[in-house]
Structure 1
Amino acid sequence: MASGASPSVEPVVGEPAAVADLGGERALLVADVHAGIEVGLRYERGVELDDRADERRERLCDLLAETGADRLVVLGDLAHRIAAPEGEEREELKALIRAVTDRVPMTLVEGNHDAGVAEAFAADLDVIGTGGGVLDGGEGDDDSRAETGGIGVCHGHTWPDPALLDADVVCMGHEHPQVRLEDSVGGSRVERAWLRGRIDPGAFVEGGDPDAIGAGDPPELVVFPAFNERSGGTWMNVDGQSFLAPFLPDALPAGDAYLLNGTRLGDFRRI
């Protein structure tokens, strides 16, 4: 996915994560961690799964070390249950946030599953609201920061702040894009995927307000795969599936899908 991708955001090969160069700061971006998913599935569906809380926490910390990131940015749905965190889910969140913030600062872009998370951990997290925001690093000299419009971030479950159209690239989660791949003998497997392409500004802004559209080329949209492999997702190549974000697929008139290993699958509408 490096070829043709935004120079400011580079996926980590083989991982549902990317590194963003914010000028004076290097950030690791992930989406849809869904901490506490096993507790949620037990409560919601009566499904019993082995607990992978430790594995999720260790993967995040390993990625921070491997990429040399100065910050972790979660593009929404840090938590799983749509309620204030409690019980085992809260304990997992507490341990995960402590492990990360012992190393680097952590930013949460609020998602639809994060009700109460920002309040519960207000002393530990920097929080960006549901409309999203633009990361510019906050450091570095003025000249280096002026060369970029920054990285726009949102979860994607609501209409985004029109200011994101002034960014160079917009990163979002929420969709959990995935594809079903079949072999020559009829076997199939599910793979998480990235989506990327240029935004249609008129479809990205609620109501297509022309006054909200900035000058210049529109930013690239990067839709992140879910960090949590158990969280399901939107099928790109299965009939009857629909997008979750109110601005998709209209805001992505032409976009490519990629596997985590970087394999380009081409136009997501034709996979």
Structure 2
Amino acid sequence: MADDSRRSTPVHVEPVPGEPAATATIEGERTLLVADYHAGYEAGLRYERGVDVPSHAPDRRERLLGLIERIVPSRLVVLGDLMHSIGDPGGAERGELEVLFDHVSTGIDVTVVKGNHDGGIEDWLADATVVPGEGVALGDVGVCHGHTWPAPSVLECEVVCLGHEHPCVRLEDEVGGSHVERAWLRGRIEPTVFRDRSAYDGLSWLGDDGPEPPRLVVVPAFNDLVGGTWINVAGQSFLAPFLPDGLADGEAYLLDGTRLGPYRSV
């Protein structure tokens, strides 16, 4: 999906056809990237809203494990919100994740970017490396969650991948009906949004004569129940503090790879 002309060998972050997941080669390792798993979401609905929804935990687990079996990655990167509760996870949520990691091959390195829903996950999730929500550079790919401004090291990468936004598009048919589908959002970073922040003063692409800014890839939510930002509907508020203004030429793609073009005009 994303490459960068600044490199002699472009960095590629490629969506898995039909799935809210992408692959990349990071530091020589085949890597699977997913975002916003939101384990325990159904328990959260019961507690927060009084809505009783049957647990989809087995389906989520089998979909992710099926992807791992197909892709055979050396590394799994979760771009935040692996769990749903903002505080300490309840029994159902923690149990869902424990069962999931019991089934993930011991040969796979797991990195979890800490999302705003991930509470104290680093205190009990022993099967993964947990990094701050502002993100880290993994080779030439910067990963962050998106609920806060990215770390400078993330923005020094060729491609920046984030979650949090749960991008969706609202599509209308010929008779006036509509439905919502998860979507990918990608484009090049708009430098002007980042120039006034002193933390980024050393970034070469902020100058008028510098190289092109990194590519930005907003990954759709893995959990298909959580809703999201309708990116093609006027008046929608984006969740990331640097979106939508920080995306210069954003385009939307459906999970099946259909290119919808500039997201505002879909």
Find the partner of 1:130 among 113, 133, 138: 133
* TM-score where L is the length of structure 1: 0.89
Once the two structures are superposed, what CA deviation does each residue of 1:192-245 show, in whole Å capped at 9, x if it has no partner?
000000112342467266623235221100000000010110001223211000
Find the partner of 2:31 among 15, 27, 35: 27
Alignment of 1:163-182 (within 5 A): 163-182=153-172
Find the partner of 1:226 among 221, 226, 231: 221
Find the partner of 1:193 among 183, 188, 206: 183
Cα RMSD between the aligned structures? Answer: 2.0
Comparing 10-19 and 43-52, the one that deviates more: 43-52
Determine the C-alpha separation between the residues in 1 that align with 2:246 and 2:152. Answer: 13
How far apart are 1:103 and its partner, in Å?
A: 5.0
Percent identity (aligned): 58
Determine the C-alpha separation between the residues in 2 that align with 1:256 and 1:200. Answer: 14
Cα 1:162–1:204, aligned 2, differ >3 Å: closer, same or farther?
A: same
Determine helix, strand or coil for the equivalent of 1:212.
Answer: coil
CA contact (8 A) 1:198 1:221 kept: yes
Determine the C-alpha separation between the residues in 1 that align with 2:15 and 2:78. Answer: 14
Once the two structures are superposed, what CA deviation does each residue of 1:10-43 show, in whole Å capped at 9, x if it has no partner?
0001000000111420110000000000000111
How far apart are 1:7 and its partner, in Å?
A: 4.2
Aligned partner of 2:67 in structure 1 is 63
Determine the C-alpha separation between the residues in 1 that align with 2:195 and 2:60. Answer: 34
Aligned partner of 2:208 in structure 1 is none
CA contact (8 A) 2:2 2:159 kept: no
Aligned amino acid, residue 153 of structure 2: A
Cα 1:258–1:20, aligned 2, differ >3 Å: closer, same or farther?
A: same
Determine the C-alpha separation between the residues in 2 that align with 1:107 and 1:101. Answer: 14
Aligned partner of 1:217 in structure 2 is 212
1:112 aligns to 2:107 (yes or no): no
Once the two structures are superposed, what CA deviation does each residue of 1:81-117 show, in whole Å capped at 9, x if it has no partner?
1111121111111111222253512110010000111
Aligned partner of 1:251 in structure 2 is 246
Cα 1:4–1:163, aligned 2, differ >3 Å: closer, same or farther?
A: closer
* TM-score where L is the length of structure 2: 0.91
Aligned amino acid, residue 180 of structure 1: R
Aligned partner of 2:41 in structure 1 is 37
CA contact (8 A) 1:156 1:172 kept: yes
Aligned partner of 1:75 in structure 2 is 79
Please identify runs of 4+ aligned residues in structure 1 that moved more than 3 A: 1-7
Determine helix, strand or coil for the equivalent of 2:148.
Answer: coil
Gaps of 5+ in 2: 206-210
Determine helix, strand or coil for the equivalent of 2:166.
Answer: coil
Cα 1:119–1:206, aligned 2, differ >3 Å: closer, same or farther?
A: farther
Determine the C-alpha separation between the residues in 2 that align with 1:129 and 1:190. Answer: 31
Determine helix, strand or coil for the equivalent of 2:117.
Answer: coil
CA contact (8 A) 1:165 1:214 kept: no
Determine the C-alpha separation between the residues in 2 that align with 1:7 and 1:15. Answer: 20
Determine helix, strand or coil for the equivalent of 2:63.
Answer: helix
Gaps of 5+ in 1: 137-149
Aligned length: 257
Aligned partner of 1:146 in structure 2 is none
